[in-house]
């Protein structure tokens, strides 16, 4: 059970909490509006609240894992996820559902933040990029499987059936957590007061390279979250796809991220970041122009496939470079990295409903890509300057 293969697969599954919590029920968003007798924007609020939970939870579980080790916080997170998922299934109205999605996001964040921290514990610098990419590959498979499985389950059990699948997934990961050994020895734990923990947060935030990588990662993930929030409505309501066809297309786009993430390992992380951030701007500009001119579905889908390929390459690079920049504070570094990601996601998701969704989504793609490119340019120039000085 403690073999390298098990660890890689288990960490990949933990990191997949984000995609599973967010993506699996996407095919049923329009149907949930009818079920709860509410507007699409209120249903999207459940997506936003889960992102806020995923952000806040990482700020909780990251420092806890640095102080008490990885094992106990991981078990606690999995147990809380099971309870909150049951609550979502039996929610009586949309506000109960939104509140429970917040708790579910907080619990899921434990898996996300600890997957990066455990990987950093176990891998030296030269192996971390490969491990992160392999975890990303498992994560990518989950991203593909989540909406496709959700589309299939929607025909059988509706949105509640999808949450029962999430419950089973959480139970499987809880069983794995109980068998997973501790990866942070006592002598490496941060036996500090909460005041000292605050000082360590400030210390990490003073690392400008780390902050630059985190912001690049956050804006890149913001582009991804614009797609997550807008694609169900654009594909199903604007272009008339069925929930199952939407799931297939969403899954195909996730394959694009998976392939690009895997390809990034063949390059240096700096080069992957440069290529990915530039490619995002080009693809986002094209998709914005296409959506503004009323393009047909396959033009939209082809350009989206290209955009998400660049997203996959970019976030793999910035993720790895950020964690390498703060190895001594892996829990806090992972927490801040994930928190920024989901704060950006929670902020942009409701914006896609403003005005004409196709135009708004295209504009947000372009703005997010430009911000990510500027952050990448800053950290790459600063990195070169630092090496020149040394």
Range list of H helices, the chain: 4-15, 17-23, 29-35, 40-68, 71-89, 94-122, 125-179, 194-205, 208-233, 243-264, 269-292, 297-325, 330-348, 357-389
Say how many C-beta atoms besides its own lie within 10 A of residue 355's C-beta: 10
Residue-range definition of the domain harbouring residue 51: 4-184+192-389
Q: What is the CATH number of the domain that holds 114?
A: 1.20.1250.20
How many separate domains does the chain show? Answer: 1
Asked whether the predicted pLDDT for residue 1 surpasses 50, the reply is: no
Cα–Cα distances (Å) from 169 to 70, 163, 234, 255, 344, in that order, read 20, 10, 29, 21, 26
pLDDT tens digits along 53-90 = 877 888 888 778 877 788 888 888 999 999 999 998 89
Give the pair of three-digit tokens for residue 14. Answer: 């933990």
C-alpha–C-alpha distance, residues 346 and 341, integer Å: 9
Determine the average pLDDT of the residues in 258-285: 89
* Share of residues in the chain with pLDDT > 70 (%): 87
Higher pLDDT, 106 or 13: 106
pTM for the full model?
Answer: 0.72
pLDDT tens digits along 342-384 = 778 778 877 887 888 899 999 999 999 999 999 999 998 877 6
pLDDT at 366: 96
pLDDT at 5: 67
pLDDT tens digits along 295-347 = 999 999 999 999 999 998 998 888 888 888 877 777 778 778 877 877 787 78
């Amino acid at each position: 059970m403690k073999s390298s293969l098990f660890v890689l697969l288990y960490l990949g599954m933990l990191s997949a909490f984000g995609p599973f919590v967010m993506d699996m029920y996407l095919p049923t968003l329009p149907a949930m509006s009818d079920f709860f007798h509410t507007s699409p924007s209120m249903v999207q609020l459940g997506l936003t609240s889960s992102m806020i939970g995923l952000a806040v939870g990482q700020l909780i579980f990251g420092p806890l894992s640095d102080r008490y080790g990885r094992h106990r916080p991981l078990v606690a997170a999995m147990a809380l996820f099971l309870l909150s998922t049951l609550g979502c299934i039996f929610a009586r109205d949309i506000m109960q559902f939104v509140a429970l999605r917040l708790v579910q996001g907080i619990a899921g964040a434990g898996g996300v933040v600890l997957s990066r921290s455990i990987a950093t514990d176990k891998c030296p610098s030269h192996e971390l990029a490969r491990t992160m990419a392999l975890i990303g590959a498992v994560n990518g498979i989950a991203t593909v499987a989540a909406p496709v499985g959700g589309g299939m389950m929607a025909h059988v059990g509706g949105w509640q059936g999808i949450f029962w699948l999430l419950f089973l997934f959480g139970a499987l990961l809880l069983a794995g957590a109980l068998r997973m050994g501790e990866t942070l020895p006592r002598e490496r734990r941060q036996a500090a007061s909460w005041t000292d923990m605050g000082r360590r947060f400030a210390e990490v935030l003073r690392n400008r390279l780390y902050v630059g990588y985190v912001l690049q990662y956050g804006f890149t993930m913001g582009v991804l979250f614009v797609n997550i929030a807008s694609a169900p409505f654009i594909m199903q309501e604007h272009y008339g796809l069925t929930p199952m066809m939407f799931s297939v297309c969403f899954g195909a786009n996730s394959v694009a991220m998976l392939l690009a993430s895997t390809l990034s390992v063949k390059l240096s992380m700096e080069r992957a970041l440069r290529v990915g951030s530039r490619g995002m701007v080009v693809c986002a500009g094209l998709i914005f122009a296409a959506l503004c001119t009323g393009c047909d579905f396959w033009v939209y889908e082809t350009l989206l496939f290209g955009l998400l390929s660049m997203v996959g390459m970019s976030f793999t690079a910035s993720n790895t470079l950020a964690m390498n920049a703060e190895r001594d504070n892996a829990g806090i570094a992972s927490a801040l990295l994930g928190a920024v990601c989901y704060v950006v996601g929670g902020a942009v998701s409701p914006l896609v409903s403003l005005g004409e969704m196709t135009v708004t989504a295209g504009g947000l793609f372009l703005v997010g890509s430009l911000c990510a490119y500027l952050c990448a340019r800053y950290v790459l120039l600063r990195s070169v300057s630092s090496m020149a000085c040394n």
